[in-house]
Amino acid sequence: MAVRLPRPRRFDVYAASAGLLGGLLLWGIGLGVRPADEPIVLFDGRWPLLVPLAVIAGCELLRRAAPRTGLLIGTAALIGDTLTQGSLVTVIMYTDLMYAAVLYGPPASARRIPWITGLLTVAGTVVPFALWRVPEALLIGVAVGVVSFAPASTGLIVRNHREAADAALLRAEQTALLAEMDRVQAVTAERSRMARELHDMVANHLSAIAIHSTAALSLDDPATTRQALGVIRENSVEGLAEMRRLIGILRDTGEDTEPAAAPTLDGLGALADGARANGLDVTLEAAPGEGLPAPVELAAYRIVQESLTNALKHASQGTVRVELTRHDDVLRVLVSSPYGDREGPRAPGSGAGLVGMRERAALLHGTFEAGPVADPRSTGGKIWTVRAILPLTEGDLA
């Protein structure tokens, strides 16, 4: 099966053509490297030197397409050129083949060729001087070094610089890619955080508005309707204030304004009072202690807030119990509410609240569970419990 060589580059065609024309010009004016009477010249006359010139010009076409093949054939052509009067252009084109073999050849060739040419240069210097004992013999090693070792070393230097530049470019591209991935992750995390904040701050008030407006529309009692409208107005005002607070956080540029303070566990009493005003029977037992990290306080507050919102929407008649206790290096949050068929109006749920609570616990490397369990205070009854364990150690905080 015939092996098809790659198509030569345009520059290589130009280099081969220029070398061939230059060699023909020197041949035409009768300029050779060696006189015809030298002992090394076996093929005297002007015509024999055209053969190595034509062969090495053809090898120039392979300087990038097949650099090792071009160098091997070019070496044979150079040896043949030394047996004639020689052409300076042939020698120059051979140095270019040596340079290209190191620069464009495989990595193994790039490592070996400089070592081989270096050894040949040393041998070409030491052996003739040892045989002839004349200073002129050192010129053979110089000629070998100029023709082979110098272009090979130059090609290796250029190749190393190119590989370093390519590696730097690759690192820059990888750094840019990692930065873009970090930016996308940061944007996604911020969007998730704002979604949780928006849901937790507004859902409680909107759920109360939906339930009391349904009651006001379904009951033909002026006193009940007036009371429901009062609750609706109160939750509307509070919800609007929360929305303004959130918008203020989003618009905060850090110039002459201070960001609004995040809620803490000190506000659990007010949160429970608001739930009682909306019709829930809430008991609060909170002993979290002091010195809690701010992320833990915010997560615990939001989990309790969302649990009360879910109780307002779905819980049946009964007491909602909120318990916060601190054990060793964790804060335990437990919210339980009656579970069963609910009488009266209820607000629809989307499940986003449970997702948000689970995300808040996961961000702190904590655990979260929610679901119905048997009520230990009654026989056969069930309660809906929300359990969260939030680590307090600084290393566990995300």
Q: In this structure, are residues 363 and 398 in contact, taking their beta carbons and an 8 Å threshold?
A: yes
Q: What are phi and psi of 76, to 5 degrees?
A: -65, -40
Query: What confidence score (pLDDT) does residue 43 get?
Result: 77
Which of 117, 147, 174 lies at the terminal end of a domain, its last residue?
A: 174
H-type alpha helices, the chain:
10-28, 50-60, 67-82, 88-104, 107-132, 138-144, 150-218, 222-251, 268-277, 294-314, 352-363
> In this structure, are 273 and 170 located in the same domain?
no
pLDDT band at 394 (very low <50, low <70, confident <90, very high): low
In a domain, 183, yes or no: no
Q: How many domains are contained in the chain? A: 2
Q: How far is Cα 337 from Cα 275, in angstroms, rounded to an integer?
A: 13
Nearest to 360 by CA among 328, 386, 322: 386
In a domain, 235, yes or no: no
Q: How far apart are the first and last CA of the chain?
A: 64
Which of 130, 154, 174 lies at the terminal end of a domain, its last residue?
A: 174
In a domain, 196, yes or no: no
The single residue listed with the structure tokens 């041949």 is 27
Whether the pLDDT of residue 30 is over 90: the answer is no
Q: In this structure, are residues 116 and 68 in contact, taking their beta carbons and an 8 Å threshold?
A: no
In a domain, 204, yes or no: no
In tens, the pLDDT along 160-210 reads 999 999 999 999 999 898 889 888 888 887 777 777 777 666 666 676 777
Whether the pLDDT of residue 243 is over 80: the answer is no
Q: Is 276 exposed, middle or buried (0-12, 13-18, 19+ CB in 10 A)?
A: middle
Window from 155-169, 170-184, 221-235, 259-273 with minimum mean pLDDT: 221-235
Q: How far is Cα 121 from Cα 77, in angstroms, rounded to an integer?
A: 19
In a domain, 68, yes or no: yes
In a domain, 347, yes or no: yes
In a domain, 185, yes or no: no
> In this structure, are 152 and 288 located in the same domain?
no
In a domain, 179, yes or no: no
pLDDT band at 257 (very low <50, low <70, confident <90, very high): very low
CA angle 201, 205, 209 (to 5 degrees): 160
| Helical axes 67-82 vs 50-60, angle rounded to 10° | 170
pLDDT band at 342 (very low <50, low <70, confident <90, very high): low
Which of 174, 207, 223 lies at the terminal end of a domain, its last residue?
A: 174
Domain that holds residue 351: 265-398
Q: How far is Cα 5 from Cα 250, in angstroms, rounded to an integer?
A: 64
Confidence (pTM): 0.57
